[in-house]
Chain A
Amino acid sequence: MTVPGSQGPWNQAQPAPAAEAGAAAASSTGAGAAGPGAAGPGSAGASARHDLAAQIGQVARGDAAAFDAVFEQLGPSVFGAVKRVIRDPAQSEEVTQEVLLEVWRTAAKFDAGRGSATAWVMTLAHRRAVDRVRSVQAESERERRVAAADIPYDEVIDAVESSLERERVRRCLNSLTEVQRESVTLAYYRGYTYGQVASLLGVPTGTVKTRMRDALIRLRDCLGVPQ
């Protein structure tokens, strides 16, 4: 039998690292990757929005460089948003990969007439994160009870590093009433349904629905989202 080494240099991949190792690597990645992502496309004005939409169009035509650019702009946002909901770093990483690959696969479905590229991508991300959490929750309702004692508003506030974008969102979240803010953070950053939010806060579901809509309208206007 031939000695395998005789074939020259073969690179063998190691098994995937344990989740803990992955998490440690993630947290030590440092600010290098955060720079461009932290600024976010939302803060960059109309031309950046337009660029991103155009880039998604190029991605639909199989342009890897455009995908790279979209990745730079939105990757950190996708990961951050997904992680708020899912919490577990390894699972968050997995879902982030799925979302970004979905952006690649389904870029042709993006319709700039129906919203910004950022909203399209972040909707994919949040929806998938929520789906993941809910499928886990179906097995265990434990999460719900944990959450009752832990309103996550501060999560937005104590962000690792500041940016204009974060400042703006923070300011606008602060412009909401306490109950509105609570509803938004529980729903968006925790992935709860309005029914779950209602039972957490002990208010009727109708009230929560209204609160959520009022809150988002106020947030939208404060953020200056074009209507």
Chain B
Amino acid sequence: MKGKPTRANRRDEHTLAGAYAMDAISAKERDRFERHLARCEECAQETASLREATALLGTAAAEPLPAGLKERVMAAATMTRQQPPADEAGASARRGRARIKAGPWLRSLAWPGRVALAAAGAAAAAGLAVAAVFGVSNGSMQQQLDQAQTSSQQIAAVLTAQDAVMMTGPVTGGGSATIVMSHARHALVFTAQGLRALPASRGYELWLIGPDGTRSAGMLPTGSHDMTGPVVASGLRQGDHLALTDEPAGGSARPTASMMLDVDL
């Protein structure tokens, strides 16, 4: 092996290149070896070429993808904000990795039909973006989600719950809504698209209606770009219905208008 004159242990250290290229070292050694690579361009080149070889060991093991996997990931991608290019490649790439490892990430939820939803976790910090898939453009969704940062953690908790169930359907008077609910988390996430625009004096209010009575689950934020939400309604109980009505902008104590939506949860 060629190389600049080095301290004796560099050569020793470099024999780790093979183990490193196969991830056959501990995380601690991995970090140390990466520091070594940062100091040794030739070593980095050799290691990269070994990575190419191990990648082919991987592609040689290709297997048919399980049914639905691609659809789930594609759907999740439309809800997942992408990291911007790094200003300082090394440092932020490392931070990014650590964050990813910590996250709960995507569950194997199998939604029927064309409807799919999933969540990327850890998320709040990384700028998690979650919402329903209506085949709408990413951009408007992204703007909505930018405004929803504060609730993204709650949203992620619902979307990643093991018992999460998603429903989607029409809203009387126009538009459609998507609900993801988790009884384990006692909460649901609501999004809507194409709701009829209301005058400024009016607003949409969500209701949870159950055996114990009717509780307001909050006003929907004024929509922009056709999308409303996602909003989190907590305090979900077994046997609840979710309803939507058109109320005075300040909200009502009880529904005063006809239900535009009433779904068994």
- Chain A residues in the interface with B (C-beta under 8 A): 1-4, 6-17, 22, 25-26, 29-34, 37-38, 40-42, 60, 62, 64, 67-68, 71, 74-81, 83-84, 89-90, 93-94, 96-98, 100-102, 104-109, 111, 114-116, 118-119, 121-123, 125-127, 130-131, 155-156, 159-160, 165-166, 168-170, 184, 187-189, 191-195, 197, 206, 208-217, 219-220, 223, 225-227
**What chain B residues lie within 8 Å of A211 (beta carbons)?**
18
**Nearest 7 interchain pairs by C-beta:** A213-B18, A212-B18, A81-B58, A26-B66, A10-B169, A80-B61, A40-B59
Q: Is the CB of A10 within 8 A of B105?
A: no
Q: Is the CB of B52 within 8 A of A188?
A: no
Q: Is the CB of A11 within 8 A of B65?
A: no
Given A17-B110, A32-B64, A119-B55, A101-B77 contact (CB < 8 Å): yes
**What chain A residues lie within 8 Å of B57 (beta carbons)?**
81, 156, 169, 184, 188-189, 219
B252 at the interface (CB under 8 A from A): no
| B14 nearest CB neighbor, chain A only | A213
Q: Is the CB of A193 within 8 A of B24?
A: yes
Q: Is the CB of A100 within 8 A of B73?
A: yes
Q: Is the CB of B24 within 8 A of A109?
A: no
B215 at the interface (CB under 8 A from A): no
How many B residues are at the interface, by size bracket? 35 or more
Additional A-B contacts beyond A13-B110, A168-B56 (4; CB < 8 A)? A13-B112, A118-B52, A216-B50, A226-B52
Q: Is the CB of B108 within 8 A of A71?
A: no
Q: How far is the CA of A211 from the CA of B18 in the complex (A)?
A: 8
- Chain B residues in the interface with A (C-beta under 8 A): 15-19, 21-26, 45-46, 48-70, 72-74, 76-78, 80-86, 89, 93, 96, 100-101, 105-113, 115, 118, 120, 126, 138, 162-163, 165-172, 209, 241, 243, 259, 261-264
| A19 nearest CB neighbor, chain B only | B108
Partner of B48, one of A22, A102, A119: A119
**What chain B residues lie within 8 Å of A105 (beta carbons)?**
80-83, 100, 120, 126
Q: Is the CB of B55 within 8 A of A118?
A: yes
**What chain A residues lie within 8 Å of B241 (beta carbons)?**
1-2, 4
Q: How far is the CA of A79 from the CA of B25 in the complex (A)?
A: 22
Q: How far is the CA of A102 from the CA of B81 in the complex (A)?
A: 11
**What chain B residues lie within 8 Å of A14 (beta carbons)?**
110, 112, 165
**What chain A residues lie within 8 Å of B68 (beta carbons)?**
25
Q: Which of A6, A9, A22, A155 has the most CB of B within 10 A?
A: A22
Q: Is the CB of A213 within 8 A of B19?
A: yes
Q: How far is the CA of A109 from the CA of B93 in the complex (A)?
A: 7
Q: How far is the CA of A217 from the CA of B110 in the complex (A)?
A: 42
Q: How far is the CA of A95 from the CA of B31 in the complex (A)?
A: 22
**What chain B residues lie within 8 Å of A71 (beta carbons)?**
70, 73-74
Q: Is the CB of A34 within 8 A of B64?
A: yes
Q: Is the CB of A83 within 8 A of B63?
A: yes
**What chain A residues lie within 8 Å of B138 (beta carbons)?**
62, 64
| B199 CB → nearest A CB, Å | 24
Q: Is the CB of B167 within 8 A of A109?
A: no
Given A42-B55, A104-B80, A118-B55, A193-B61 contact (CB < 8 Å): no
| B15 nearest CB neighbor, chain A only | A209
**What chain A residues lie within 8 Å of B85 (beta carbons)?**
60, 108-109
Q: Is the CB of B110 within 8 A of A101?
A: no
Q: How far is the CA of A215 from the CA of B54 in the complex (A)?
A: 11
Partner of B65, one of A33, A127, A169: A33
Q: Is the CB of B66 within 8 A of A13?
A: no
Given A104-B77, A193-B24, A98-B106 contact (CB < 8 Å): yes
**What chain B residues lie within 8 Å of A74 (beta carbons)?**
59
Q: How far is the CA of A213 from the CA of B54 in the complex (A)?
A: 11
**What chain B residues lie within 8 Å of A159 (beta carbons)?**
60-61
Partner of A7, one of B21, B69, B163, B169: B169
Partner of A13, one of B48, B109, B243: B109
Q: Is the CB of B51 within 8 A of A115?
A: yes
| B31 CB → nearest A CB, Å | 13
Q: How far is the CA of A11 from the CA of B59 in the complex (A)?
A: 38
| A70 CB → nearest B CB, Å | 11
| A76 nearest CB neighbor, chain B only | B62
- Show 15 residue pairs from A and B whose CB-CB distance is below 8 angstroms, ordered by the A residue: A7-B261, A8-B169, A26-B66, A62-B138, A101-B120, A115-B48, A123-B54, A125-B58, A193-B25, A194-B25, A209-B19, A213-B17, A217-B50, A220-B53, A225-B49
